[in-house]
């Protein structure tokens, strides 16, 4: 009798657990979930992104001050961190990744919001930009990284780094001190001065520091910045792009990761 | 002997200190400017982070760090909870019309230039321990004042009864931390005064937001030590021991705060004479483009929280303060001000002829980035002093400071303070200082 | 951005009031010159024959003071690009005083595009400049980006803060294709060579034309009635004017661009 009751309770608990796991799957967007998304947004996001999503929250100006970055304007800006082609909108999963990881230096990781809450916020912030209704962003496919880099591959990567003028912005040693960067020529989509990323300091890389992250950044480019997409240049030559990735990683201690 | 007497009688209150907590920046991999307009000033996001018990606004993150941990502790975690700040003036220049009496300070100095080094070192450990439980502790060593000790230390319990319904702080707390004018978060740092406690005379003014200072001459704490008119006090104290409850139960626009303290100016422990109470409300608007504003008011009701000397000895008095403050932030501008009115009750009738029982003060400050890395700060301070009529001097100062950020956590500054009232000869410290110049450094790691 | 209101005269007939929206950004940039603009005028699809239509024929004049060309020091690849780059701002035909490279369009006529498969707009990096420097197209039309130079460029097309495409173009790159996503004014830049600039104007209708070297333009197949004409020039800004299109035949109009210097004073 007693054991039976325990069993019953155990089933209840397990069912409950399953139900709560199921909730973590991306919920459908409806009026209730948008309302919930708005509530979360106004408590967590609006301080920088603004109550209207225009990147003009009361704390937003101080992040970059007179320089890049400003908080994203969800109503009209493009997006830097994507798995989609240059100029395309991000997928929902891309937005989820950014919210979960944060952006080093400028945006905290919101892992403390549960998965469901993150999806609700994503649905709410997308509602400001009608382009999300018209364009259906399609993620590019990214291959798995080949096995460990060889010295020759890294050497080839260095040649590509020169050939593709990476050093014009990122500098000969990858320290973000290329001639265009030091001359102050680089501007973001709001015409604010922007720095070239220091490739020797992976902890500050905004789009992630893994080999796949670098591969993705080089493929998609960072919209709203001078960083272009190299997808066209490396189409059908993925192994060359991996060599460039490994060379960039060799500038810091990231090559093993 | 004279020198010894001078040294022993030179009294300076501890320097108020709230720094950027670099540990939080490390923990969340953020730049200082995510939370600060310019450290130690908070922006609107930083204010809500503070109110949420060192958790991201809108969450109960409980100190998620994302770092790999080895068991319960790791070095990564240590750095995410601990920060240091080193700062101070390396050059101090003061121009006096005439220095205080020879017996009070060594030498007759018309223009006093001192070299120094960054003498204030603070160690913080703070953060959220687990969901909705946070802590804060600050240890400070101030070589100039030969003082070392716990400045503030408290626990926070957040989001009791629902999101932002009630947040409790208990320990040595700074009540004005969440007020529109946070006493301790000033770009123009406190420059200590010099007081002769035996004679109750101020030998050198302190440069401090005068609205938040004690403002009374001839006032003593319950152990008989003189309270400097320039000391942060009551609601605007560096820290007092007590407990408070605060929240925004109706949404972001309104905040309440109520607290009870052992008593203002209680060194440590409680003489059990009576508790002090305070309450504050704050109204916020943060929904316009690059703009936020707040208006707040408080009442602090003291209970035998100071004494005055009368012919018959030391008499307890009740010292109250009422204040209103506001802040406006728009793009690069951060404007904030505080007006306070102090009243002392239960002063013996016999003493009323020599003691002014009311005082008021006004402080208005503006910080603005003139370039990406240059912060210009201006402050106006005015005090209509109370207390001992023979000493009481009202005063106004204006300060200007340029702070150049070499890195986001390393700044060099130069500052000039000017006495706006007519300078006079003599011992009235508030009148004989014409102007002062400071240069120094501020490093946080 | 400044929004000036101005009056301006039409040479041919009567005085019309014109509201002027000059974009300060365009003034400040004071960018390009439109020598090769005509190559970008693509086929304009006629409307169905049943409806009576008129044609707007006209000329845009500019009689204001000369606006000096912009000269940039070339800091990169100057061995190939030259030590200086000169960007002509305003090109006036000496006889007609016609303004070359203004875009005339009539918005607000709801007409479905009958030929969405327009040929691609070809945008080539040639001798450290974009060719053409001004192009017009319809939403959905492909832009084909090429690089004929022996140096690397990146072609960065954006509207406001939204990027349309930003691609690296090394020497002998294969072309990149990207469709125009929305109507409006796209700016084309090369982040590696600041002096390289161009514009693409995208429309959701076929009623637009670029003025030729004499300042002339022609927009056929318009429904009769009153329409709002928009004239845009990258240096001189945007002006609007209403015209009444006759039920048949050509409606002639000559428009004088507001005096640039006066506009700035206001």
Tens-place pLDDT, residues B178-190: 999 999 899 999 8
Residue from the list C163, C173, C192 with its beta carbon closest to the beta carbon of A233: C173
pLDDT above 80 for B13: no
Q: Is CATH 3.40.50.150 correct for A24-134?
A: no
In 3D space, the residue among A210, A216, A205, A206 whose CA is nearest the CA of residue A241 turns out to be A216
List of residues 6+ apart from A135 with CB closer than 8 A: A88, A89, C181
Residue from the list A165, A224, A226 with its beta carbon closest to the beta carbon of C152: A165
Residue from the list C160, C166, C174 with its beta carbon closest to the beta carbon of A228: C166
More confident residue, A16 or B358: B358
CA atoms within 13 A on the CB side of A181: 21
Smallest CA–CA distance from C155 into chain A, residue: A228
Q: Are A44 and B292 an interchain contact pair (Cβ–Cβ within 8 Å)?
A: no
- How far is the CA of C118 from the CAs of C69, C103, C113, in angstroms? 34, 19, 10
Residue from the list C170, C181, C182 with its beta carbon closest to the beta carbon of A164: C170
Residues of B in contact with A46 (CB under 8 A): 286-287
Q: What average pLDDT does this structure show over C239-247? A: 90
DSSP state of B149: E
Smallest CA–CA distance from A190 into chain C, residue: C161
Domain A151-250, architecture per CATH: Orthogonal Bundle (1.10)
Which pLDDT value is given to residue C118?
A: 79
Q: What are the sequence ranges of the domains in chain C?
A: 5-265
Residue from the list C75, C156, C176 with its beta carbon closest to the beta carbon of A232: C176
**What is the rounded average pLDDT for all residues in chain C?**
79
Q: What average pLDDT does this structure show over A124-129? A: 96
Instruction: State whether residue A229 sits within 8 Å of chain C by CB.
Output: yes
Q: Between vectors from CA C29 to CA A56 and to CA C253, what angle results, nearest 5°?
A: 110
Q: Is the ipTM of this complex over 0.90?
A: no
Residues of C in contact with A165 (CB under 8 A): 152, 168, 170, 192
pLDDT above 70 for B8: no
Residue B177, min C-alpha distance to chain A (Å):
18
Q: Percent of chain B at pLDDT above 90? A: 58
Do chain C and chain A touch with ≥3 beta carbon pairs under 8 Å?
yes
Q: Binning pLDDT at 50, 70 and 90, where does residue A217 land?
A: very high
Q: Are A203 and B29 an interchain contact pair (Cβ–Cβ within 8 Å)?
A: yes
Residues of B in contact with A48 (CB under 8 A): 45
Q: Are A86 and C158 an interchain contact pair (Cβ–Cβ within 8 Å)?
A: no
Which pLDDT value is given to residue B155?
A: 97
CATH class of C5-265: mainly beta
Q: Are A61 and B332 an interchain contact pair (Cβ–Cβ within 8 Å)?
A: yes
Q: Which two tokens stand for residue A77?
A: 């800006």
Residue pair B245/B258 in contact (Cβ under 8 Å)? The answer is yes
Domains and CATH numbers, chain B: 2-444 (2.40.160.10)
Chain centroid to CA B439: 20
Sign of the alpha-carbon torsion through B195, B200, B201, B205: positive
Residue pair A49/A71 in contact (Cβ under 8 Å)? The answer is yes
Rounded to whole angstroms, the Cα distance separating B113 from B197 reads 25
Strand order in the sheet with C193-203: C134-138, C193-203, C184-190, C153-159, C162-169
Q: Are B45 and A59 an interchain contact pair (Cβ–Cβ within 8 Å)?
A: yes
Rounded to whole angstroms, the Cα distance separating B311 from B318 reads 19
Q: Are A180 and C191 an interchain contact pair (Cβ–Cβ within 8 Å)?
A: yes
- How far is the CA of B163 from the CAs of A231, B128, B251, in angstroms? 46, 16, 10
pLDDT tens by residue, B213-247: 999 998 988 888 889 999 999 999 989 999 999 99
Rounded to whole angstroms, the Cα distance separating A197 from A207 reads 11
Residues of A in contact with C169 (CB under 8 A): 232
Residue from the list A73, A77, A87 with its beta carbon closest to the beta carbon of C164: A87
Which pLDDT value is given to residue B105?
A: 54
Q: Are B34 and A102 an interchain contact pair (Cβ–Cβ within 8 Å)?
A: no
Residue pair B102/B63 in contact (Cβ under 8 Å)? The answer is no
Which pLDDT value is given to residue B71?
A: 61
Give the β-pairing of C184-190 and C176-179: unpaired
Subunits touching C (CB < 8 Å, at least 3 pairs)? A
Q: Are A102 and B29 an interchain contact pair (Cβ–Cβ within 8 Å)?
A: yes
Q: Which two tokens stand for residue B398?
A: 């204006």
pLDDT tens by residue, B33-72: 999 999 899 999 999 999 999 999 999 988 765 445 556 6
DSSP state of C119: P
Rounded to whole angstroms, the Cα distance separating A126 from A129 reads 6
pLDDT above 90 for C50: no
Tell me which of A8-17, A190-199, B141-150 is least confident.
Answer: A8-17
Q: Pinpoint the residues of chain A covered by CATH 1.10.760.10.
A: 24-134, 151-250
Which pLDDT value is given to residue A162?
A: 95
Rounded to whole angstroms, the Cα distance separating A53 from A48 reads 9
Residue pair A54/A74 in contact (Cβ under 8 Å)? The answer is yes
Instruction: State whether residue B28 sits within 8 Å of chain A by CB.
Output: yes
Smallest CA–CA distance from B251 into chain A, residue: A43
DSSP per-residue letters across B202-232: EEE--BS-GGGB--EETEE-TTSPBPPTTSB
């Amino acid at each position: 009798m007693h054991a039976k009751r325990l069993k019953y309770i155990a089933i209840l608990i397990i069912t409950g657990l399953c139900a709560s796991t199921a909730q973590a799957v991306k919920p459908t967007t409806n009026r209730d979930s948008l309302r919930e998304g708005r509530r979360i947004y106004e408590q967590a996001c609006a301080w920088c992104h603004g109550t209207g999503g225009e990147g003009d929250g009361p704390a937003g100006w101080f992040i970059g001050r007179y320089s890049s970055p400003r908080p994203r304007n969800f109503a009209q800006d493009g997006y830097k961190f994507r798995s989609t082609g240059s100029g395309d909108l991000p997928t929902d999963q891309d937005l989820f990744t950014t919210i979960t990881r944060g952006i080093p230096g400028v945006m905290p990781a919101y892992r403390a919001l549960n998965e469901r809450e993150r999806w609700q916020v994503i649905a709410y912030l997308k509602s400001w930009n009608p382009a999300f209704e018209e364009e259906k962003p399609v993620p590019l496919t990214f291959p798995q990284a080949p096995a460990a880099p060889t010295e020759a591959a890294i050497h080839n990567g260095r040649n590509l780094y020169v050939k593709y003028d990476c050093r014009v912005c990122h500098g000969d040693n990858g320290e973000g001190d290329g001639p265009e960067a030091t001359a102050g020529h680089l501007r973001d989509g709001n015409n604010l001065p922007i720095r070239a990323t220091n490739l020797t300091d992976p902890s500050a890389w905004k789009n992630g520091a893994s080999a796949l992250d670098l591969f993705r950044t080089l493929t998609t480019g960072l919209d709203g910045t001078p960083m272009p997409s190299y997808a066209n240049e490396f189409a059908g030559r993925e192994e060359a792009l991996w060599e460039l990735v490994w060379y960039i990683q060799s500038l810091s201690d990231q090559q093993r990761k | 002997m004279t020198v010894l007497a001078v040294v022993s009688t030179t009294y300076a209150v501890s320097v108020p200190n709230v720094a950027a907590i670099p540990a939080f920046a490390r923990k969340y991999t953020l730049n200082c400017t995510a939370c600060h307009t310019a450290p130690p000033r908070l922006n609107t996001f930083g204010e809500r982070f503070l109110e949420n018990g060192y958790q991201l606004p809108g969450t109960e993150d409980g100190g998620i760090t994302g770092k790999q941990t080895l068991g319960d502790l790791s070095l990564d975690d240590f750095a995410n909870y601990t920060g240091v700040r080193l700062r101070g003036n390396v050059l101090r220049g003061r121009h006096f019309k005439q220095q205080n009496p020879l017996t009070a300070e060594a030498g007759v100095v018309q223009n006093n230039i001192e070299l120094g080094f960054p003498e204030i070192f603070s160690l913080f450990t703070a953060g959220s321990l687990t969901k909705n439980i946070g802590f804060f502790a600050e240890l400070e060593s101030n070589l100039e004042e030969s003082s070392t000790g716990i400045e503030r230390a408290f626990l926070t319990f957040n989001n009791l009864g629902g999101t932002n319904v009630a947040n409790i702080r208990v320990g040595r707390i700074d009540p004005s931390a969440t007020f529109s004018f946070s006493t301790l978060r000033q770009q123009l740092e406190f420059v200590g005064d010099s007081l002769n406690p035996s004679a109750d005379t101020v030998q050198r003014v302190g440069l401090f937001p005068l609205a938040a200072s004690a403002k009374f001459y001839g006032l003593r704490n319950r152990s008989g030590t003189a309270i400097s008119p320039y000391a942060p006090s009551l609601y605007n104290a560096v820290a007092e021991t007590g407990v408070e409850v605060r929240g925004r139960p109706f949404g972001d626009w309104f905040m309440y705060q109520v607290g009870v303290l052992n008593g203002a100016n209680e060194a440590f422990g409680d003489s059990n004479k009576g508790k002090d109470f305070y309450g504050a409300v704050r109204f916020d608007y943060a929904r316009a483009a690059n703009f936020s504003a707040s208006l707040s008011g408080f009442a602090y009701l003291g209970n035998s929280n100071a004494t005055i000397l009368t012919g018959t000895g030391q008499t307890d008095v009740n010292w109250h303060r009422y204040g209103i403050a506001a802040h406006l932030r728009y793009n690069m501008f951060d404007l904030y001000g505080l007006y306070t009115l102090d009243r002392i009750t239960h002063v013996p009738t016999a003493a009323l002829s020599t003691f002014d029982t009311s005082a008021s003060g006004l402080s208005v400050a503006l910080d603005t980035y003139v370039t990406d890395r240059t912060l210009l700060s201006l402050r106006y301070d005015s005090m209509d002093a109370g207390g001992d009529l023979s000493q009481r001097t009202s005063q106004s100062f204006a300060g200007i400071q340029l702070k150049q950020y070499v890195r986001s956590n390393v700044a060099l500054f130069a500052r000039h303070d000017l006495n706006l009232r007519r300078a006079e000869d003599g011992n009235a410290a508030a009148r004989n200082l014409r102007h002062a110049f400071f240069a120094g450094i501020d490093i946080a790691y | 951005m400044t929004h000036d209101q101005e009056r301006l005269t039409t040479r041919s007939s009567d005085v019309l009031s014109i509201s002027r929206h000059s974009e300060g950004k365009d003034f400040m940039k004071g960018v390009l010159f439109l020598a090769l603009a005509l190559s970008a005028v693509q086929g304009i699809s006629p409307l169905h024959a049943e409806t009576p239509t008129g044609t707007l024929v006209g000329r845009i004049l500019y009689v204001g003071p000369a606006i000096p060309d912009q000269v940039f020091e070339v800091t990169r690849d100057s061995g190939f690009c030259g030590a200086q780059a000169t960007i002509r701002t305003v090109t006036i035909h000496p006889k007609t005083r016609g303004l070359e490279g203004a875009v005339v369009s009539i918005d607000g006529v709801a007409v479905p595009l009958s030929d969405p498969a327009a040929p691609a707009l070809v945008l080539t990096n040639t001798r450290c400049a974009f060719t053409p420097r001004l192009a017009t197209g319809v939403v959905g039309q492909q832009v084909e980006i090429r690089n004929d130079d022996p140096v690397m460029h990146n072609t960065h097309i954006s509207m406001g803060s939204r990027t349309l495409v930003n691609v690296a173009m090394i020497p002998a790159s294969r072309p990149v294709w990207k469709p125009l996503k929305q109507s409006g004014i796209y700016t084309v830049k090369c982040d590696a060579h600041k002096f390289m600039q161009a514009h693409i104007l995208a429309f959701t209708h076929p009623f637009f034309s670029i003025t030729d070297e004499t300042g002339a333009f022609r927009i056929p197949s318009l429904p009769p009635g009153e329409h709002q004409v928009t004239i845009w020039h990258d240096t001189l800004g945007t002006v609007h004017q209403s015209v009444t299109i006759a039920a048949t035949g050509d409606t002639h109009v000559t428009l004088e661009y507001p005096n640039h210097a006066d506009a700035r004073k206001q």
